[in-house]
Each structure stands twice: as structure tokens, then as C-alpha cells.
Structure 1
Amino acid sequence: MTIVITTHGSTGDIFPLIRLAIALQNSGHTVRFATSKPFRPDVEAAGVPFCQIPPEWEKSELQYWMGRLQKLKSPVSQLKEMYRAATPHLEAIIDAMEQVIDGADCLVSSYLFPINKAIAEKHNIPFVSYAFAHNTVPSRFYPPHEFPRLRGLPDWLQLRWNRFCWKLGNVVVDTAINTTISRAFKRKGLPGVKDFFSKSAELVLVAVSPGLMRPRIKLHPRFQFTGYCRWQYPKSEEAEAEILAFRGEQEVPIITFGSMVYDEPEKIMERLIQAWPSDKKLIIQPGWSGFKVPAKAVNILEVGPMSHDQLLSHASVVIHHGGAGTTASVLHAGKPHIVVPHIGDQDFFSAEVKRLGCGIKARKKTWPEKLYSKVCQIEKEPSYQKSALEAQKILLGENGPLEAVHQIEAFLEHRSHLIGDFLNPDEEF
């Protein structure tokens, strides 16, 4: 079968789907990976055919928009801003996607881009959504993240409240997207977005650990927890030698903030240096943050892009932003976490890390000053390391890429039967 995979965003959005593409190719399928120009080298380095789609942005423009999103506190506002950025390019994106999916048997898209569902349906191509976080999976047994739970009240009232909240969430998100894209979609003869949470696709691959994160309650069968799909840069022997020479025999705290952007990275760096003990070593992977370690900070090592598995093997504790991909990497490394949420679902993942007993949370506004005390808290309490190793053991028994391939193959094989179940208008979550 020919399967098209598409997404936009940062490496956290691209790398998991690269791993899925590799797994599909290894299973004998033909794959086309459609995304923007900055990720061509990564996709092609993985041996996956690359299809370029608009916008014609450079990496600096992606960083600009990520910085803008971080200034918005509401996830709905962030989603609307993301679509506002895409609006001038939307018709070109639709035209390009229609060419890419010509002759395809299936379209797989990040859940953040439900507009692709309309394109797939127009061409009668099965559509699969790929979710990086499980807080988008609706159920009558809990409300959406950040909605209050009516704990202690009668079960019937809690169930009705939860269901109402998910319906309200659907309306709010659908409206936010549709008010942004409606003109472009009308010009292309496409319907708007509907039921972002509950019916985003006939099959939704929830790419997190089923052993660690799947709720122990009944969920609609369209939501399948597959486990993580993780693609890594090749191991760098040069970086390995540099890190070992720096840290010696002792593992050290590591900061990695992925695609998070800072307006004044120099000031953040200076605050960290002033608060961090000069005799305590630290490794920083700046990512998109703009952090630069000055020469005077001889106890701090700056490293560039490299495999998370390689880098985190040197960590005593990992300080990160709580992105889905980075959280997965730290869990796979069996290391304790200090999560500094910046945007979107990162606060949700910080809560998950705390629930698993693997780490703690720090506030974005004060993390440079508070970091040393947080690291001491982790290093003095062995339960965090113990819980992290227990989580790692569960992950070693899962194979997210293979399970995702099985789910896609089963869905396509039995689609005619599944459509009758999934499109039942009387169904609940």
C-alpha cells in the first residue's frame, strides 16, 4: 500500500512520524512524507521519500512562530494562532496535498491538523490521525485537561459533567479553527472542521505508552494506544568523547528545551550562571532557545543536536520542557525529570511525570534561580530514580512503531466494517 504521512511543526512533531514511516517501509509499504523544507535533510537521512509542501519557511521562521505561540496562555488561542500563521498558505497547502495523495491508499496526519481529514475525504482516501498526547482522548469518565473534576459528587452527575465538557471543548476548538480557515476552505469546496476531539478520524493512533498512560477505563475503539514512535540522530563519537571528558565518572544534570524559544536568552543564561554553583557541572542542549554558554562558565558544557538516547545516558537528572517527544526520551532513558512547562500540553505531561513518581515541576519564570534546589531535591530522594527505572522497564516491553503499523493495516483491511461502527450517530465516547 502507498501511505502518505504529513505534519508540520518542530522536531517533536516530525521525528515520531519519521519513525512510523520507517516501520511502514520495513513492513513493505510505500511511504511519502509531506512536510516543509527545513525537515528535508532529516526525512531523507532516514531513507524516506520527501514531498515538500508549503509554506516555504526557513527554520528561523518556524522559530519565530514558536516564540509567538509561547506568549499565549490558552491552548485554544495557541491553536488559532497556529492556523492564522498558515492561513496565507492554506490554499497552496491544499493544492500540494491533493497532488501528494494522488494514488495513495491512506493519509496519516498529526492530530493538530484536522484540515487534512477534509482533503482525504474529498478524494475518498482513508484518514488516520496521529496523536502525541493522550489528553485529547475523550471519555465520560474524566473531563478534558484543565477542566475541574467534580470529585465527591454523585457518579451520574460526574458523567454528565464530563460529557458536557468534552462537547463544549469540541465546539470551542472547532469554532477557533473554522473561523480562521473558513474562507480558504470554501474557495476549495471543503467542509470545515468538526468534532476535533471525539471524531477527528476513524482511527486515532495515540502514540504514548499504553502501559504507563492508557486510562484503565473503557475508551472508544477508534483510539488505539500504540506506544511511542521515536527516531534518533545517529550516535556521534565526537560528542561522546567531549561529554565523557567533561563529566568524568560522575553523571551530571542535563538541560534540553527542544524547540522552545526565548526572547532574551542571554539574560536567562546569566541568571542561571549566577544561581548555579561553580563547582557543580551541568550540560545544556540549547535547541531553539538561543542559549549560549559563555567561556567563563567552565562548569557548563554546551552541546548541539544529537541523539537523545546518547545524550541522556550521561544524565543524573534531565531538565526539560515537557514536550511529548522529550518526555518519551527521558522515560526511555530511565532518568528522573524536572519539567519546566512552556506551552500547550507540556503542563499535562509534567502532571503525568509527577503521577508516575519520576520527577517534579519547576516554573518557567523562576527555573534558573530554583534549578539547583530542584536538582538537589531529586538527587537526595532515591524514589524518583527508582520510579524512573520502573517506567523504563515497562517501555522496554513495548514496540510503538510495530503496533502502529499493525493498527493501520488492520484498519485498512477492515475499513468497510469499521466505518459502520465509527460513524454511528448515536454513539458515545
Structure 2
Amino acid sequence: MRVLLTSHGSTGDIYPVIRLGRALVEAGHDVRFATVSLYREEIESAGIKYVYLPPDWDQSGFAEAMRDLTKARNPVDLIRIIFTETLPYLDEIFQTLERELQTADIFVSSYVYSSLCQLAKRAGVPCAVTTFAHNIVPSVGYPPDGLPRLALPAFFRRRWNSMLWKLTDRVLCWQINKVVGERMEAFGIGRTESYVLEPADKVIVTVSKKLFEPKHLWSDRFRFTGFLRWQSPEDPNLNAEIDAFTEGEKVPVLNFGSVTFDEARKVMTRFMRNWPEGKKIIIQAGWAGLTIERPRAEMKCIGPVSHDQLFQYASCVIHHGGAGTTASVLHAGIPQIIIPHIGDQWFFAREMRRLRVGLEVKRKRWPEQLPKAVRIAERSKRLNRRSKKLAKLLAEEDGPANAVHELEKMCE
């Protein structure tokens, strides 16, 4: 099977697709991944063939784009910003993917850019999309994320939810077509007709089936497979370094991943002013470039490293609520404190509260409120016990193998 993958964005958008590509390679398939050059080394190290797509930004370019996304007022505005950023490069993206589809048996795109599946449909190639957050999975059992739930009998509630999902689909298609519709028509693939309800032949939902699959799915094209986790390489020198710092103690870990935000230096100054003296914490710099301006013995800064390697030292993990980081903390079996910044991160914060494995701290006041949240997370027997229980459950799932199986069935 010749598989063409594509995705754009931060590591949270790319790493799960790398994990899928690696699983496909291990299953004996020929895999190409079309994306920006920032991730080429990581992709090729996984044994996947790399195909260049614009823009040719370095990490600072993507960090700037992420700052723009944090200013989105709502999901519709977020979609507008994403597609506006993509517009200058769309023709080259179309041309490259059209060329690569000539020798593909199946096409897999990220959910955000599911409109690209129209290229595959025109070429007669089966297409699937991957989504790393289940808040966009439609169901008559609940309304779209953020819209009101009605306290009515089940029949009326299902009708209400169905109507809201159809309306959401139309609104998102309208916004996408408003930005890129003319360009898509000029390329001969037409405007986006369904973004939420029927984005592709199959939707691979890469979160835990046991924890997150709703009782009523919109259709059988939505398939929950389990998490796809790909991580930065392990640092062979880091264990000894952290062992010396922690002295056998579990400590909080602060990690905002690829999220960036304005005035990071001032935010960290507030954090240092409020963090208790003598309380150890590990801080990952991430894309925001979190730094400690005045060194303190109880604070240790580190760079990119495998979540699994780092989180074994954590009493709790403070993070932004990205899909990849949330999955890694769930697998580590430790409580989490989520400070959402953008998009589906608020949704994941609510989900971790629902699962009773985490707390949420508001973004505007997190430097001041974090010490109290850490005390609660570390001392709560319920949070720690529940986190360990879910980690054991997740250890039984094999997301990569399940996702490969779903794609193979499409080519039978």
C-alpha cells in the first residue's frame, strides 16, 4: 500500500502523523509525508519519505503564527486565521499533492486541512483524515463544543443536537470558502461542502476509545483507534542530570510545548515572584522560550526531550492542554494542571476534570494561582489514584496498530 500523508502546524499536528507513518512502515507499506521542512529530519529518522510543502519557515516563524492563533475569538475565527495563513502557499501545496497522488493508493490528511481530500477524490484515491481531539466528532448525543445543551426528553435533545451539528458544518464551510474557496475553484476541485460531518471517506480519531468514544456516533466513518504518540528523542545525559537535581524527589514539571504567547518574559517574572522558595520545579523552555532570568537552585530549565523520559520524574505536569502532551501525561499516570491558551485546549482541560485526573488554571492569572494548584494536585489521593488507574487502561490500547488496520481496510 502506497500511503501519502500530509499535515501542517505545530508538533502537536505533526508528531501523531509521524507515529502513524512509522506504524505503516513497520507494517510493510510505502509511506510519504508531505509537510514543511522544519520536520524533515524527524520524519526521515522515522523511516518515512519526506515531500516538501511550503511555507519554508523555521521554528520562530511557526512560533509567530501560534501567537496569532492565541488571539482567535472563537473556533470560526481560528479557522479563518489558519486558512488565511495558508492562502499564499495554496497553489504550490495543491500542485505538489496532485503530483504525489498519482502514485498513491490512499491519502491521509489532518482534520484541519480536510478540504485537501477533494484532491484525492478527483484523483480517485481513497482518503481519510486524522483528528487528535474528539470535540469535533459529531453525535446526536451532544451539541458541538461550546453550544448549549438542552434539558429536554431524549428525542427532542437529539433533534436539537443534530440541527446544531449541521449548522456548525455549514458555518465552518462558509468561513473556509470565504478565504480559499475561489482558489480551490480555480484549481478545479470545487469549494468545501462538508467540513465536520463528512470530511473524508474515513475519520481516524486518535484518542482512547475506552475513555472518549461517545455512545452515539454520527456515522460509522468515525473510528476511534487510541492515541498516536511520537516524541522528541531521549537525552542519554539527562537522567543523571535530573537525578542530581531532584535527589529522588518527584517534582512538578512545567511544559507549554509549542504554544507561544505575548510578553513571555514578563509572565515568567510573575511566575518566579510567586513560586515558593525551596520548592523544586523543572521547566521546559518550549516554543515560548520560557527562561529563568535570575537562577534559583530550586528551578531547572531543560530543552526538548521525550515526554516519557521527563515525566517519570514528575509529581504533576503543568501544561497547555495540547492533545499530545495530554496523552503523554495520561499514559504517565500522574495528575495534570492545564492552562489552556488556544483552540481545543479548553476542551481537553474540561475532559481531564471530567475524568478526575486534572485541574484547570486560568491563563491570565496562572503565575499567581499555580502554587496552590500544585499543592492540591500533589496531595490529592483521588487525583493520583485515578491517574494511575487510567494509565493502566491506556497501556492495553494499541492506537498505531488500530489506525493502520483502519487504513488497510480502505484499500481492500
TM-score with structure 2 length normalisation? 0.98
Share of identical aligned residues, percent? 41
Separation in 1 of the partners of 2:203 and 2:150?
28
Structure 2 counterparts to residues 149-228 of structure 1, below 5 A: 149-151=149-151, 153-228=152-227
CA contact (8 A) 1:273 1:297 kept: no
TM-score with structure 1 length normalisation? 0.94
Is 1:64 matched with 2:50?
A: no
CA contact (8 A) 2:140 2:218 kept: no
Structure 2 counterparts to residues 360-371 of structure 1, below 5 A: 360-371=359-370
Separation in 2 of the partners of 1:233 and 1:54?
23
Greater shift, 218-227 or 392-401, is seen at 218-227
Indicate the residue corresponding to 2:47 in structure 1. Answer: 47
Separation in 1 of the partners of 2:36 and 2:390?
34
1:202 partner letter: D
Indicate the residue corresponding to 1:385 in structure 2. Answer: 384
Structure 2 counterparts to residues 80-119 of structure 1, below 5 A: 80-119=80-119
Separation in 2 of the partners of 1:238 and 1:193?
49
Structure 2 counterparts to residues 17-28 of structure 1, below 5 A: 17-28=17-28
Is 1:122 matched with 2:122?
A: yes
Deviation at 1:147, TM superposition (A): 0.7
Separation in 2 of the partners of 1:208 and 1:73?
26
Separation in 1 of the partners of 2:2 and 2:190?
25
Greater shift, 211-220 or 97-106, is seen at 211-220
CA contact (8 A) 2:25 2:47 kept: no
CA contact (8 A) 1:255 1:319 kept: yes
CA contact (8 A) 2:256 2:284 kept: yes
Separation in 1 of the partners of 2:215 and 2:139?
11
2:138 partner letter: P
Deviation at 1:99, TM superposition (A): 1.6
Indicate the residue corresponding to 2:275 in structure 1. Answer: 276
Separation in 1 of the partners of 2:282 and 2:375?
16
Q: 3-state DSSP class of the match of 1:232?
A: coil
Separation in 2 of the partners of 1:58 and 1:270?
27
Structure 2 counterparts to residues 234-245 of structure 1, below 5 A: 234-245=233-244
Separation in 1 of the partners of 2:87 and 2:196?
22
Is 1:37 matched with 2:37?
A: yes
Indicate the residue corresponding to 1:419 in structure 2. Answer: none
Separation in 1 of the partners of 2:15 and 2:272?
32
Indicate the residue corresponding to 2:329 in structure 1. Answer: 330
Deviation at 1:55, TM superposition (A): 1.7
Is 1:2 matched with 2:2?
A: yes
2:405 partner letter: H
Show CA shifts across 1:85-124 (max 9, x none): 1101111110111122221000001000022111111111
Q: 3-state DSSP class of the match of 2:203?
A: strand
CA contact (8 A) 1:293 1:302 kept: yes
Indicate the residue corresponding to 1:319 in structure 2. Answer: 318
CA contact (8 A) 1:73 1:343 kept: no
Q: 3-state DSSP class of the match of 2:79?
A: helix
Separation in 2 of the partners of 1:219 and 1:405?
22
1:322 partner letter: G
Separation in 1 of the partners of 2:98 and 2:241?
47
Please, which runs of 5 or more residues in structure 2 have no aligned partner?
none
Deviation at 1:218, TM superposition (A): 4.7
2:310 partner letter: L
Deviation at 1:185, TM superposition (A): 1.0
CA contact (8 A) 1:54 1:96 kept: no
CA contact (8 A) 2:253 2:317 kept: yes
Deviation at 1:219, TM superposition (A): 4.6
CA contact (8 A) 1:55 1:93 kept: no
Show CA shifts across 1:371-395 (max 9, x none): 0000111122110011101110110
Show CA shifts across 1:239-281 (max 9, x none): 2221111111101000111111122111111100110011100
Deviation at 1:290, TM superposition (A): 1.9
Indicate the residue corresponding to 1:411 in structure 2. Answer: 410
2:26 partner letter: N
Structure 2 counterparts to residues 287-326 of structure 1, below 5 A: 287-326=286-325
2:259 partner letter: M
Indicate the residue corresponding to 2:345 in structure 1. Answer: 346
Deviation at 1:294, TM superposition (A): 2.3
CA contact (8 A) 2:36 2:55 kept: yes
Separation in 1 of the partners of 2:149 and 2:397?
31
Separation in 2 of the partners of 1:308 and 1:265?
22
Separation in 2 of the partners of 1:202 and 1:127?
6
Greater shift, 395-404 or 262-271, is seen at 262-271
Q: 3-state DSSP class of the match of 1:366?
A: helix
Separation in 1 of the partners of 2:325 and 2:379?
24
Q: 3-state DSSP class of the match of 2:184?
A: helix
Deviation at 1:61, TM superposition (A): 1.3
CA contact (8 A) 1:69 1:343 kept: yes
CA contact (8 A) 1:3 1:108 kept: yes
